[in-house]
Amino acid sequence: MATILLIALTACDSEHIDMNTIINADGTCRREIRFKADSAALANNSTDAHSNILGILNDDSWSYEVQDTVWVKAYRDFSSLDEMTEALPLQVAGHQVKSKAKLEKRFRWFYTDYIFTETFESIAPTFDIPLTNYMDKDMADYWLTGNPDVLKGYSGLEMKDYLDKMEDAFLHFVNANILNDLMDVLADHYAEIPNAPVSKEEFLASKPQLIEQVDQLSTDVMNYEPEKLLAETFGTEAYNQVLKDGIPISEAWEQRQEVYVSMLTLDVDYQLMMPGGIIELRECVGGVFRDGSLHYRLSGLRLLAPQYSIQATSCGKNNWALNLSLAIILLAIGSVIFLLLKAIRSKKTLPG
């Protein structure tokens, strides 16, 4: 666990991604992505230029330019929202982050309201043990996304106590899943483990009891070692040894740990620009509106929520409606003047 956190912490700055989403009134759209690329991978147009970017450099449908040697700015225009979301270039542990987007229009003659929503698919099913085993749904949603505001009305001291409990519960969730994943990896390669102390069936049958032990442990994640727990429980270093020396098993375990690293390092500044001006933010707790666009954080932890949506409403002027209304008004005024003038002329031409 210490290795996972150290990798994640040292990678945070270099993994940051800027993603600008531009929505047009006709439903066409554009995505712009800016990220720091690995210089060697950049030289070879490799798909490994960034751990959380899904192969842009070798995809001809994207255009890109290199800034300051290692920073890449990529962009692509789309004819529809469906096309844009299908090509979402974000990934967690090699799997594309998926989303659905829609644009609703509400015509109000002089103005049109545009309501844009992008909902991201949860990555929670990646983990066998759900977060709701350790905290209730509202608490979990607040911990991951800030919504709903379960701490409304709490004092600062009360908030700290509540947040400490949420952090403790979340770290137990992480620890339990790491042990669960490690045991699954070992079970998948159990025939390759020399001097295994118990059968595969007995090994897997002990999983619930071991996870229960993890739940009782301290949440000192920097010192949490599931391998050590297995050694103490079964009285042997057989599992630790095969994780060090057994190439298929060690590689499988490294690949599984990448899920945690990738989740912790996904850090996106999501920017949204819409027709007219953004007038309302919804389902965007923590969003900031500045310079004509919404800035919101999209992270791997937020994607653990059952449903993570970004929604905003903008209002655009219908210039044609203004012009048409002005023409109708002028025509009406002209018609009244014409009728008045006609009436005056008729009066003057009357005999006597």
The pair of three-digit structure tokens given for residue 138, joined into one six-digit string: 């509202």
Burial (0-12, 13-18, 19+ Cβ within 10 Å), 307: exposed
C-alpha 75/C-alpha 79 separation (Å) is 14
C-alpha 313/C-alpha 79 separation (Å) is 21
20 strand-pairing partners: 32, 271
Say if CB 82 and CB 293 are below 8 A apart. Answer: no
> Amino acid letter at 116?
F
- Residues of the chain above pLDDT 70, percent: 83
Q: What is the DSSP letter of 70?
A: T
Average pLDDT score over the chain: 83
Going by pLDDT thresholds of 50, 70 and 90, the confidence category of residue 317 is low
The pair of three-digit structure tokens given for residue 341, joined into one six-digit string: 């003038």
C-alpha 166/C-alpha 134 separation (Å) is 9
C-alpha 198/C-alpha 201 separation (Å) is 8
Say if CB 289 and CB 277 are below 8 A apart. Answer: no
Which residue in 91, 81, 71, 76 sits closest to 18, CA to CA? Answer: 71
Q: Which of 33-42, 69-78, 259-268 has the lowest mean pLDDT?
A: 33-42
Going by pLDDT thresholds of 50, 70 and 90, the confidence category of residue 286 is low
Which residue in 258, 243, 295 sits closest to 11, CA to CA? Answer: 258
C-alpha 14/C-alpha 38 separation (Å) is 9
**Is it true that the peptide bond before 351 is cis, omega within 30 degrees of 0?**
no
Which residue in 267, 295, 298, 297 sits closest to 281, CA to CA? Answer: 295
| Phi, psi (rounded to 5 degrees) for 81 | -70, -35
Sequence-distant (6+) residues with CB within 8 A of 250 are 242, 243, 244
Look at the pTM and tell me if it is higher than 0.85. Answer: no
Going by pLDDT thresholds of 50, 70 and 90, the confidence category of residue 73 is very high
Higher local confidence (pLDDT), 315 or 305: 305
Radius of gyration for the chain, computed over Cα atoms and rounded to the nearest angstrom: 29
Domain residue ranges in the chain: 2-317
* Three-class SS state of 53: strand
Which residue in 104, 33, 95, 41 sits closest to 63, CA to CA? Answer: 33
Q: What is the DSSP letter of 302?
A: G
First and final C-alpha spacing in the chain = 110
> Amino acid letter at 204?
L
The pair of three-digit structure tokens given for residue 10, joined into one six-digit string: 């040292």
Alpha helices in the chain (DSSP H): 2-15, 39-43, 81-86, 137-145, 156-188, 200-205, 207-216, 226-234, 238-245, 247-265, 319-348
Tens-place pLDDT, residues 136-171 = 999 999 888 888 888 888 898 889 998 999 988 998
C-alpha 325/C-alpha 308 separation (Å) is 42
Alpha helices in 16-77 (DSSP H): 39-43
The pair of three-digit structure tokens given for residue 34, joined into one six-digit string: 């800016």
* Three-class SS state of 92: strand
Tens-place pLDDT, residues 6-52 = 444 445 555 789 999 999 999 999 999 999 887 776 766 665 667 78
The pair of three-digit structure tokens given for residue 233, joined into one six-digit string: 């429980």
Place of tokens 């929604």: 311
pLDDT greater than 60 at residue 108: yes
